[in-house]
Amino acid sequence: MLKAIDVANFFIYLNKKEFELTLTNNLINHLTYLAYGWFYAKNDCELFSEKIYSIDNHIEIENVYNKFNKYKNNIIEDYIGEFNISIFVSKEIELLIAVYDYYSQFSSNYIQKIICHSSSPWSSKCYETKIIDNQKIYNFFKSRKYFDDIHQ
């Protein structure tokens, strides 16, 4: 199983190739969370095992937010630790590329609104610090058409 930091580093890898996003700590956490949700719903298994928190109206993933926190709101261009694409299997790569391609069309603020939308099962937690229940994440993403209606 991957670690959440591996997924975050994959988004940095993609951004180095395509440079479509201004990757900040919050945005990397949001993309990593969205990848987790879509992967879990599509494959009925978790992408990584770290806990996901709703903190002050944004998502923080255990070990990702703290490791990238040194960048504050600045652009993140460097990996945390070593990055090795060979640790990813094809279904992980395909989904991570799809998440990056789809969500790169939106601003970081819009992605944050998607995550804390009033229809989401954790919307009541968006202004307090809570672990987001994995089953609620699974159910929410499973009930959506792939990418098309998460923000509805």
> What is the secondary structure of 51-91 as a DSSP string?
-EEEETTEEEETTTHHHHGGGTTSPP-S-SS---GGGS-HH
Tokens 């792939």: give the residue.
146
pLDDT at 110 over 50: yes
The residue written with tokens 């599509």 in the block is 42
What would the pLDDT profile of 25-47 be if each residue is shown by its tens digit?
A: 999 999 999 999 999 999 999 99
State the pLDDT confidence band at 87, using cuts at 50, 70 and 90. very high
Sequence spans of domains, the chain: 4-142
Between strands 58-61 and 130-131, the pairing is unpaired
pLDDT band at 103 (very low <50, low <70, confident <90, very high): very high
